[in-house]
Amino acid sequence: MTYQSNLLQHKTVLVTGGTTGIGAAIAARLAALGATVTAAGLPAPAGTPQPPASVRTVMLDVSSDDSVKTVVGSFDTLDIVVNCAGVIRRQAELDPEVFAQVVDVNLVGTMRVCAAARDRLRSAQGCIINTASMLSFFGGGLVPGYSASKGGVAQLTKSLAIAYAADSIRVNAIAPGWIATPLTQTLQDDQGRSAAILERTPMKRWGTPEEVAEVAVFLATPAAAFMTGAVVPVDGGYLIA
């Protein structure tokens, strides 16, 4: 146990995209530390590991203003918001229409949630943790929508950190590298692509959602009280290699 088990007791948390992958791991970890956690997202595919029973789950479509306002409006208070909702449409993103859909979910969806939650976070002097990516820093020839949106999330994080500082709201982001999730399953299954990824990664392995969750927890705690506008890589050294 890295942190005290009651570290986040009495904290209320919303995790978008919290029903699968990295979002689910973050939701579970925050709940294990005593927080009251709601994981909001679309239904997870059959067979996908679900958040524990201690995590409440609700439907949320971050591409819908009404859906975001309904979910955020259901909270009396919010201490922590984690934006993990995201999609990737490899190769199809070269079509401008698909490109726009991906950007709408990953980038505009993040902004929708941040804006809707601002008043509640102000009251709690809370924090936001966004999900950027290694593709915030690199281009991706088959995923221009995903890359552009994640680059945007990094810049949005920095911009909102400035805009929300007067409200005592910290805004940071995690930037996961190659993490073993359903989103990267195609790459994990491609022996050649996986080998190339591991060859460049100094730690020579795929990361786990739980390892990303630990960094998100740090950003949510008083240990990061003087951090805002940071985009923190969680990538086994891929970015520096």
Q: What is the pLDDT of residues 190-237, one digit of tens each?
A: 999 999 999 999 999 999 999 999 999 999 999 999 999 999 999 999
Angle at 88 between CA 106 and CA 68, to 5 degrees: 30
* Residue 170, pLDDT score: 98
pLDDT digits (tens, 9 = 90+) for 95-142: 999 999 999 999 999 999 999 999 999 999 999 999 999 999 999 999
Q: Residue written as tokens 């100094």?
A: 202
Residue 146 is among the residues annotated as catalytic for this protein: yes
The model carries a pTM of 0.95
Grade residue 183 by pLDDT with cuts at 50, 70 and 90.
confident
Question: 3, 146, 164, 238: which is the annotated catalytic residue?
Answer: 146
Residue 88: both structure tokens together: 């990737």
DSSP, collapsed to helix, strand or coil, labels residue 83 as strand
* Secondary structure of residue 128 in the 3-state scheme: strand
**Could you give all domains of the chain from N- to C-terminal order, each with its CATH number?**
12-240 (3.40.50.720)
